[in-house]
Structure 1
Amino acid sequence: MKMSRFLVPTLKEAPSDAVAVSHKLALRAGLIHQEAAGIFSWLPLGIRVLKKIEQIVREEMDRAGAVEVLLPTIQKADLWRKSGRYDDYGAEMLRIKDRHDRDFLFGPTAEEVMTEIVGAHVNSYQQLPVILYNIQWKFRDEVRPRFGVLRSREFLMKDAYSYDLDEAGARESYNRMFVAYLNIFARLGLSVLPVRADPGPIGGDLSHEFMLLAKTGESMVYADDRALGLPAPGVPPEDRAELQALVDERLAPYAASDELHDASEYEARVEEGHRMEARGVEVGHIFFFGDKYSRSMDVKLDGPDGQPIALQSGSYGVGVSRLVAAIIEASHDEKGIIWPEAVAPFHVGIVNLAPDKEEVSALANKVYNALEGAGRQCLLDDRKIRAGGKFADMDLIGLPWQVVIGPRSVASGELELKNRASGETVSLGFHDLIARLTQGSAGN
């Protein structure tokens, strides 16, 4: 993509009401445009990052055995009345009426809708377990939306729901999703800590949040610091005991958010030199709530003995749009964003220092075409602006690699390659540069 034909509305300064680093940089790098408090449009760079995160989430859900569906954004109020949540959910729910004066709502979550689908289409216990997931825009009317897309009113969310015949099977599904979440965050380059958490209005007796440690976090996290930095677990084991042991390993010996923190237990179970207290941003939340929804909505199946059983369920949410901000919070410097390779809007930024000179533009286009042909996504800055502005914008938007091409490149045959994360700069010939960026350390 050529920058002269692409919308990248960078800003030198962030608006005064932007407080969080991720909010400031998302606005300055032209990822988002604010429409109202907590409501944003996603601009070309931002939507590319959003789609890449969404795809990683989708791949890990599929790998864990979940199946994708697409649910309506507008839900019937009667479903929520049936579950008992319509009045209990509170002012965060945006309630609306259609032209026939029927009650609807803009979905903040989808336990009721998904449970109704399972009740209508799962007819035998032999079809269980069922895990369905949905990637969709949600709306919660936050009292104080802030920090940009870290806490917005409208957001893109992946929510999954599991249905099992008994509690043992349901907890296995819960653990399978737990491992899938660890894999998602590892692929995004995030060091995330799973902690015990309050299930809140979702309900249930088992819940974990996945917390990214950041100064802008709204929750306090108390944990053993040795729980950070563990490698991704990979494909969840099929054996139930092995799966449970893997989950237990990632939770030991202590990790809790402030709602469930027990100071005496914390001091007893965590050695003084390993106690960690920090603020955290929730980037994922999972719940096991038993038959809370299936019983209230009368979703039952005949078990092996012919007796009707209310299904055991769990739900699993991850904020896809929130993860854009979370990655920025975790990966930036004073110049701008530093995108991990897996989610960068483009892999390589090519800076043409002299777009008016035919031989320089020819070389820049040659590099661009070679990299694009090898599957590397490139953003070619062919704008007729000063070099300083080009360098500043490239650092701000944070592409993993920058190639600088000017008259000296034509004369010497050497091109400058910069790694955005390390700042390392090397000079390479054309063929060596293409090889470097299409294999080995540049990734794929």
Structure 2
Amino acid sequence: MSDPILHIKDSYYFEVPARLAPSHRESIADFPKVWIRLDPDFQLWEAKLVFKQLAEQNNGTPSEEDFLHDWEHWQHEPGNHGKPVRRYLQVLAAEKNDEGQLVNPWAESWPEAQKLVSVQEYRETAKPWSPDKIEAYNKVLSGKIIIPQPFGELRNLYQKDSGFCISRFMVLEFFIALLMLVVFTWFAGRLKRNVVPKGRFTHMIDAFVCYLRDQVIRPGIGHGADKFVPVLLTMFFFVLGCNLLGMIPWLGAPTASFSVTLSLAFATLVIGIGAGALKFGPVGVWLNLVPHMDLPLLIGIPIKCMLFVIELMGLFIKHAVLGVRLLANMVAGHLVLLGIVALGVDMSGWSLVVALPVIVGAAVLFSCLELFVAFLQAYIFTFLSSLFIGASTHHH
């Protein structure tokens, strides 16, 4: 799911064709901090510096040669490739024997030793990188627009190390939120100035809003639905905007990430439970999960208890499925498109000439289908959210 063409996996950079953003860095000073931290020479320099500080502060440390050998051996284990020495020291500091005692107590003070590591100091004191290394790094970084991180540090281009880091999907989501703010502020101003909406774009927005309010939200929630109209309209247009971004090359759809879709589903859950708690009380909202049944006390108690457990599990499962459904539908379309386009990768000559019109035609048709799915999934998410909120705010 981290295919570089689909951009399904979130990252801390935008990728465009290399010719649009070539990398012409000439020295260590020109490379971003996150890239320097991934360099083997920097990691070795970091390991020596941290170990030297640990050896000065603690007794019982191994020799530097043994320490570096064990760390490099640990890096070759599955899942540890390229991990810096601080990750290795975290593992050592947590190791305990059968009696619950620390095996490597000297490693506990690694955070204080780690504070001595400075990328700027390495830039100033390290041996200059060879032209071949710089050329190889420039080739890899060409086309990658790394997002600045003023509030955090990156471990690599896909994982944060500390603080608050801004990812590509966050930027796209902020863009959609800002666009919605501008459009709907303008739309509200137009409605205030005119009794009847005027203009094609105004009519289009008005058609969406009225249809969702009258045909989706009100029927789905029932009595008292109007107070939920603003938040559900916001969800619809936010999901739609994120879906449509997936149709633009080199951007990707934020709704193809679990963190986005599950957060939206969790918002629906909180809104439903919160509104139900305001209406039925903090306890009544949970008791409302069980439908009303006139049963004898001896039979009613065990049956209602079992139903409560089943309904409670169903409440959380259906909201989780709400998020998974949105992600799965967005990812599936991208995978189908990738499969179609990939048909011509290994072809050449007359076979490519014959297959090319079929591939292009199929890609266009599935792109149109993806465009339809973008609208459909936003509609389905809003419709199901309305049903779930309605179920939480009305007696069964």
TM-score, normalised with respect to structure 1: 0.22
Higher strand share: 1
Q: Which has the higher contact order (CA 8 A, sep 6+)?
A: 2
Higher helix share: 2
TM-score, normalised with respect to structure 2: 0.24
Structure showing greater Rg: 2
